[in-house]
Amino acid sequence: MNVRDVPSPNFGPRRDGLKPELVVLHYTAMESAAAALGRLCDPAAEVSAHYLVDLDGTVWRLVPEAARAWHAGAGSWQGRGDVNSRSVGIELQNRGDHPFPAPQMAALERLLRDVMGRWRIPPEGVIGHADMAPGRKQDPGPRFDWRRLAREGLAIWPEAAAVADGTAAIDADMSPEEAFQAAAAAFGYPRDARLSDILRVFRQRFRPAAGSAPLDAHDLSLIGALAARWGVDPGAAGT
């Protein structure tokens, strides 16, 4: 694929010998890709990403994949911190209030295939910025088409049969709130995040039509299915 190089000074070495095991998807929340490039390449801003994908499918490479871009900030996934050292960051030009157009999604799919192939990252390793930092971040937001990526093998999406069986992974001795938070931690969400923040970002990704309705049985079945299929033991995860 055609990638344009626009080097950013905002990067460093990956720490502790870590290599990419995640891809973190962001939206820029800016009016244009040009504005986003300016910020991501500004040394005073101290932020960057490995790639930026514009609405028309243009892809810019800002930081070499082997280096540690400054895109994720504080947060964790599956009990593991320093997400910057564990991930490749991809920014998508989007203000956060409109759909992601087909040319942009097609370019993202091509880029993901390349990145995931180089680093042997499985579909469950593709997450949103909000997933690792609920309460602090919300990108790529409810307009992002996670199910489309999953159909291409580039992300995960639980099928109906798995969701129907998801209640088996829920601890019946807990309250619904406690059970949801425990399963969410097993799936990967930070253990110290508030329930309301986890529920919000979980629904943005997997149940965007549910909005701000109270926690319900479908939420429990869905998070149970995700934890059973792709989760880890939170107590065994590293930091």
The question of whether 21 is a catalytic residue gets the answer no
Quote the tokens at residue 81: 């911190």
Catalytic pick among 65, 91, 177, 178: 91
Residues with active-site annotation: 91
